[in-house]
Structure 1
Amino acid sequence: YLLCFGLCCLHCVTVCACVPQMTVTEYHVRSSVVSRYAVTTVHSSVWNQLSVTKEAAFEVDLPSAAFISNFTMAKQMNNLGKINQKHSKSGLVIKREIERFRVAVSAPPGARLSFCLTYEELLIRRLGRYELSLGLRAGQPVENLTVEVTVSERTGLSFIRVLPLKTSRLLNGQGDGDPPASTLIEKNKKCARIHYSPSVQQQTSLSTQGINADFIVHYDVELRDIMGDIQVYDGYFVHYFAPRGLPVVPKDVIFVIDISGSMIGTKIKQTKQAMGTILGDLREGDHFNIITFSDRVQTWRKDFISETSAESIVTDTYFLLSSSGTNINAALISAARLVSPLSGSSSRRVPLVIFLTDGEATIGVTAGDTILSNARQALSTASLFGLAFGDDADFLLLKRLALDNRGVARMVYEDADAALQLKGFYDEVASPLLSDIQLTYLDEQAFDVTCSLFPNYFQGSELVVAGRVKPGVKDLKVAMSAVDSKQRVKLENDVSVAGSQESDSLDECVGDLEGMSSFVHRLWAYSTIKELLLAKLNTTDPSLQRLLADKATNLSLRYNFVTPVTSLVVVKPDADETTTQATNHCSSAQQSPSPHSSVV
């Protein structure tokens, strides 16, 4: 059997309840968010008070977009023996929207172990809010369990709220209800501190195995300047661009839906349910069309129709399933034919293609590179958003299609909430405000700048650019060019580099980060690595792939990030350290590489 502690995996809960357990003496989660950049540390201490050796497993759920930056494991034996490091094991398992980090060691009687994991992520603004989600799965009630969150935003917090504990990964009406009992929130204009420390009784009231849930914080920021917020520290800058109050641009949206035989049953029912809701929510002035495909492709209308005709579309006869194959290439070309006439239109409209499939290309053109080339040539200025429904979908192809065609790709998980997942994604792109956005940093003052050209900006989202500033620059000159609902607009602004660094009053809120410069510096590295990995995914040139991988690897090693091109190796320090020393190192959330872990 597997004795779970730290974060007890769901399939181990029954086992954990019926075998003698080691005692989790402490369980602490602390997260510091500075201008959207979150550094989170999970610390768990365990005591094997039993008379036999047990396997101790430390498990942490972390967001799939996060990078691990430190791991510490320490022991205190009281001369009772040694930890069996030969039998230690670790791994990273990808689950729905999360990755599960796990390390296990054999602990002899009397051993006290301390585990500490730190990870970092940039919170993404969706539907007008940022979400920080912290997993609490200690596997048993814990006498000393705390969650500490600090949120600091230079331009001010427009709201912050703690949601009820979320005990399921399924989507629901998030945002309703009160924070969990024993939650304390202190806030001012720019900073908020949240403390959650449930008693053992409060934990057991949720489950005899203790808390098995996510602690979720939602917030948004004030951002009145249409040019956004630009912060410059120690030679690095970050630019948050998210103008509010702009008119929504009408859109022409093409829904391309897989109706091959594999969609039979729940999948097609959930797709129809989502389509019914989506079409009912189309804005006045929006136009749409629907393409369904299996081995053949069927276009519902020769041209787009307005939202007033949407109510009677989703019928059983139109979504009649086929037992044949999946012709992804032909479906994309059909969508492109609808988009093409729009390119010559003088009306200001945004073309979107939402492409959903649960399989791979099996009919017609099946080679991925050929499909990519055909779509790139045909789709013109349309943005393609790929939705991979279930594990059998060719998610890699959809990601590359989206990267090539001004969009993004998402997984739709086979679960009871799939219709809500589909609707939630559509809501993110339902309200385009700007297109062809270019953020420029003039007079060659900036270098090593992340992507600054964006196809669309949607209501409730945010565009983020990071880079480096040349020494001696006093004012960073920033220009913005974009197309709004009527015309192309251009703006310029000067940002005082000295003022950006000196006028802040956030240091008193920061706590875990070594000043504001640390967050901008690491955010730049985080964003640059992400872009290098995406570029590597989207090229077939082996030499370019190697170059991009080398650059991502070098940055990952420099900043001690565990990424797809590096690995985490736990090393024993030269001199023994006590559990107290390791705990202090953990709680300080240092950003420098730990003597207990390294990235290779």
Structure 2
Amino acid sequence: MKIPSPVCTCGTVLTLLSLLALFQTTTARKNDIDIYSLTVDSKVSSRFAHTVVTSRVVNRADTVQEATFQLELPQRAFITNFSMIVEGVTYPGNIKEKAAAQEQYSTAVARGESAGLVKTSGRKMEEFQVSVSVAPAAKVTFELVYEELLRRQLGVYELLLKIQPQQLVKHLQMDIHIFEPQGISFLEAKSTFMTNELAEALTIVQNETKAHIRFKPTLSQQQRSPEQQETVLNGDFTVHYDVNRTHSGGSIQIENGYFVHYFAPEGLPTIPKNVIFVIDKSGSMRGRKIQQTREALIKILDDLSPNDQFNLVSFSSEATQWRPLLVPASAENVKQARSYAASIEAQGGTNINDAMLRAVQLLESATRAELLSSGSVSLIILLTDGDPTSGETNPTKIQKNVQEAISGQYSLFCLGFGFDVSYAFLEKLALENGGLARRIYEDSDSALQLQDFYQEVANPLLTSVTFEYPKNAVEEVTQNNFRLLFKGSEMVVAGKLREQSPDVLAARVSGQLHMQNITFQTESSVAAAEEFQSPKYIFHSFMERLWAYLTIQQLLEQMVSASDAEKPALETRALSLSLNYSFVTPLTSMVVTKPEGQEQSQVAEKPVEAENKHRNVPSGGGYPDLLMPGRSLFRGQAGASGSLPSFPARFVPGPLHPPPRPPYMSYPRTGIPQLPERLLVSVPSVPVVPEVFLEADLKTKETVMTSLPPVIIVPPPVILLLPGWFLDRLCVDLRPSQRPLSLLSDPDQGVEVTGQYEMSNKAQFAWIEVTFKNPQLQVRATPEHVVVTQDKRNSAHKWKETLFLVMPGLKMTMDTSGLLLLSSPDKVTIGLMLWDGPGAGLRLLLRDTDRFSSHVGGTLGQFYQDVLWVPPVAADDSKRTLRVQGHDHSATRELKLDYQQGLPGTQISCWSVRL
């Protein structure tokens, strides 16, 4: 259940209480539909996932209620079945050709109803939703089935499940079965909602080829707190895994007359690349977009290999190249390119045509001058946020010009920034030229998205890859020619076995390394392969369905860049397969039947990326920071339950002249004390400023929310608990610096903490980075977000979203207060948090510091070595000298706020040292 936060514009407590009563009544009414069972069963066999979500609900009201089934599923998944069981009668979803369902669809639209039951939701997901009226005490069962082929990106496969029951569920269970004949080499499960209590409900059992992940929380484990009947389950549950590989790189698996060939060889050297970055700097990129683009480009330039060559083309109404020719990615050239990237400013129109032709000319000039190394790979990476507005503006002509210029020699990758870009135009531009298109979502981690994409194409391993099979053995093979294979990815080919095929299926994969051709050969016994399959971990004819899924996906992709003459044949075959295997694709629709007497049947259609063109709408709710006359003010954030702040106040225009700090009642200088015209009452529960007051005008009966300029006590950047017999707190104040600091380094623990403390608008950490060697993990925190990196795979998380990640030897958690902890039974616990009290900023916490080894060092680590107090020479015991590894530091006893407790008003007495 999702209820938008109400906004109160009233000026009286009575109206606010009425609104709260209405809110609670509405909530209770919607809760009359009780989900008493929710199960997710996902079976992954050879990377192909079959997921069944079943929700059972009952209407506990004494009137008819509407029950809504809502689920988010991956965008690359195809829905294969949906059904509702109402009072023992099954109402199935029937998949039809889109044209056959068009009449029902048009009728629903004409009535003003929502005809499309599936819509794009977020970056990777689509939302399926259907509603049905339920009689009192009646039960309904919803069941949705979808399938997808998991793609390998940056070395792992990802199974993403969205969990949003929006209420406590008596029986909630997730079962994920993974079966990989190659053997499972790596497995992890993480979640954005996991708590320590919920972690007890998670079990993982794994052997060489199989894994079973079960999540079965009790009602108490799901509950936010004993006082709040609300669920904490709201977010992502993600499984990452990889499989064992050999230098031959090939694995052929066979089931029920079909085969699939996975190819991702290990140990190949990276091919040098020649890359042109084409950067849109038109006026629409002004502000955050160009800032994030500069940030990402600087990081990408640092990741270039010394064997690479590169150049930059920036464009608005005109295109400008950084250097006349491509240059090697030497340290000096990269340094100069970083300076150039940092100076890019946004203004002018969008001349994509000239910019692309300029990039191609640079590669052609380098080829003619024999500047490109033999066997190297040439790439063009275009980043733009808008439609062409300068020069050639006809998208079809631009596509034609670029295709003719590239002429199959180079690969083009198009990144569309935000939702205003014409994604269909960029997708065709990329697919026609051997690349792909990707949308970059306009968010705080846009720079990270750009870096992640670059990592996917940063390391080409093979070019001109061809898969060959005996013609007498196979038929109807999916795409078997590929331009490029990148490190961390995988090529997949599937097909049918002929009836009289040999007992052994042999395959030959050929490609080009940097300076030579290479051939891989592998084979698989048909009888042995089918015997090896485990029925418990697979579903019926899964490999046939995998073949159909892959074929449809490739046909849909080919249709994007096909000519008008080629499209009908591709569409006919894709439609036929979609109907035969009951897939909801862009060519089919699912007609959802409802019980008689209810709304007409609804139609579910798969959304198309190119159709999703709308401006971003800021997410999240909250209360306004700007005051308007006559409007109530609710400053600060709602509580964990989402409840409204409890104190209203009306804004009265005009200057305020608050009296000095206590007493709050002002008196005349002579005579008998009189009733003040204004009375101030402290309201410390409103967490906006250190002290907030309600000012009541006793003559006009008006009230005003205001604040006094208090004496602010702020927390230090770091609070340390001194080791040994000191058992005292040390508040460390750092001097702002443009250079990163080595805060902690313990080689025995395999942990290092660095950070940059700067003075901009306020003194705070610009970033803190924690690096673990075993397991290899890096966490980089900024005031905007937290980025977790594993094997060059990045994931960004907003502060105060729940996160739970468990891997061998390390656990990472973050809760809704914004406290992120990295802990291990035998390691020091490192905490990061975004403090939003007085002196707001990024803070560092250290726990279990007795686990530091004798080799710990760094700006903060030194305090866990040789530390002693120098005997005081004066009677003033509030000042001391602290000797750390032979260096003396002045320490003063001071009162500071303690950010470690997470409470804005908690004060501590500590020894303050400035470093």
**Structures share fold, TM-score greater than 0.5:** yes
Given candidates 482, 493, 498, the residue that maps to 2:511 is: 482
Distance in structure 2 (CA, Å) of the matches to 1:483 and 1:179: 50
Distance in structure 2 (CA, Å) of the matches to 1:382 and 1:231: 33
Q: Which amino acid aligns with 2:589?
A: S
Residue 411 of structure 2 corresponds to 383
Distance in structure 1 (CA, Å) of the matches to 2:192 and 2:348: 44
Q: Which amino acid aligns with 1:203?
A: Q
CA distance 1:45–1:195, change in 2 (3 Å): same
Residue 334 of structure 1 corresponds to 358
Asked if residue 200 in structure 1 is aligned to residue 229 in structure 2, the reply is no
Contact 2:416-2:440 within 8 A present in 1 as well: yes
Given candidates 524, 528, 542, the residue that maps to 1:519 is: 542
Distance in structure 1 (CA, Å) of the matches to 2:60 and 2:448: 46
How big is the shift at 1:280? 1.3
CA distance 1:598–1:55, change in 2 (3 Å): closer
Q: Which amino acid aligns with 2:165?
A: A
Mapping 1:89-100, distance limit 5 Å: 91-95=117-121, 96-100=123-127
CA distance 1:203–1:342, change in 2 (3 Å): farther
The DSSP-based 3-state class of the residue aligned with 1:41 is strand
Asked if residue 567 in structure 1 is aligned to residue 589 in structure 2, the reply is yes
Residue 62 of structure 1 corresponds to 73
How big is the shift at 1:254? 1.1
Distance in structure 1 (CA, Å) of the matches to 2:395 and 2:465: 29
CA distance 1:359–1:279, change in 2 (3 Å): same
The DSSP-based 3-state class of the residue aligned with 2:170 is coil
The DSSP-based 3-state class of the residue aligned with 1:310 is helix
Contact 1:561-1:599 within 8 A present in 2 as well: no
The DSSP-based 3-state class of the residue aligned with 2:428 is helix
Distance in structure 2 (CA, Å) of the matches to 1:414 and 1:166: 24
Residue 302 of structure 2 corresponds to 280
Contact 1:142-1:210 within 8 A present in 2 as well: no
Contact 1:164-1:215 within 8 A present in 2 as well: yes
Given candidates 28, 40, 45, the residue that maps to 1:29 is: 40
Q: Which amino acid aligns with 2:506?
A: K
Contact 1:72-1:597 within 8 A present in 2 as well: no
The DSSP-based 3-state class of the residue aligned with 1:407 is coil
The DSSP-based 3-state class of the residue aligned with 1:535 is helix
Given candidates 474, 491, 501, the residue that maps to 2:530 is: 501
Residue 258 of structure 1 corresponds to 280
Distance in structure 2 (CA, Å) of the matches to 1:437 and 1:114: 48
How big is the shift at 1:520? 1.0
Contact 1:228-1:241 within 8 A present in 2 as well: yes
Residue 170 of structure 1 corresponds to none
Asked if residue 530 in structure 1 is aligned to residue 530 in structure 2, the reply is no
Which structure would you say has the larger Rg?
Answer: 2
Q: Which amino acid aligns with 2:202?
A: T
The DSSP-based 3-state class of the residue aligned with 1:284 is coil
The DSSP-based 3-state class of the residue aligned with 1:205 is strand
Contact 2:160-2:239 within 8 A present in 1 as well: yes
Asked if residue 145 in structure 1 is aligned to residue 164 in structure 2, the reply is no
Mapping 1:314-333, distance limit 5 Å: 314-315=338-339, 319-333=343-357
Does 150-159 or 193-202 show the bigger shift? 193-202
Contact 1:258-1:294 within 8 A present in 2 as well: yes
CA distance 1:433–1:166, change in 2 (3 Å): farther
Residue 191 of structure 1 corresponds to 210
Distance in structure 1 (CA, Å) of the matches to 2:514 and 2:414: 25
How big is the shift at 1:553? 1.1
Q: Following superposition, which runs of at least 4 residues in structure 1 exceed 6 angstroms of deviation?
A: 9-12, 85-89, 596-600
Q: Deviations over 1:13-42 (max 9, x none)?
A: x89756441211011111100000000111
Distance in structure 2 (CA, Å) of the matches to 1:114 and 1:448: 39
How big is the shift at 1:213? 0.8
Q: Deviations over 1:344-385 (max 9, x none)?
A: 645231111111000011112222222122111212421111
Q: Deviations over 1:145-180 (max 9, x none)?
A: 11100000011000111113369xxxxxxxxx9994
How big is the shift at 1:219? 0.3
Q: Which amino acid aligns with 1:100?
A: E
Mapping 1:74-473, distance limit 5 Å: 74-76=85-87, 91-95=117-121, 96-165=123-192, 180-205=199-224, 208-307=230-329, 308=331, 309-315=333-339, 319-343=343-367, 345=370, 346-379=373-406, 380-473=408-501
Instruction: Give 5+ residue unaligned stretches, structure 1.
Output: 79-84, 168-176, 575-595
Instruction: Give 5+ residue unaligned stretches, structure 2.
Output: 7-22, 90-107, 597-601, 607-915
CA distance 1:317–1:387, change in 2 (3 Å): closer
Does 17-26 or 529-538 show the bigger shift? 17-26
TM-score where L is the length of structure 1:
0.86
Contact 2:475-2:496 within 8 A present in 1 as well: yes
Contact 1:227-1:480 within 8 A present in 2 as well: no
Contact 1:89-1:104 within 8 A present in 2 as well: no
The DSSP-based 3-state class of the residue aligned with 2:465 is strand
Contact 2:297-2:341 within 8 A present in 1 as well: no
How big is the shift at 1:423? 0.8
Distance in structure 2 (CA, Å) of the matches to 1:327 and 1:187: 54
Does 137-146 or 16-25 show the bigger shift? 16-25
The DSSP-based 3-state class of the residue aligned with 2:478 is coil
TM-score where L is the length of structure 2:
0.57
Give the number of the structure with larger relative contact order, counting CA–CA contacts within 8 Å between residues 6 or more apart.
1
CA distance 1:509–1:92, change in 2 (3 Å): closer
Contact 1:89-1:105 within 8 A present in 2 as well: no
How big is the shift at 1:88? 9.8
Contact 1:567-1:599 within 8 A present in 2 as well: yes
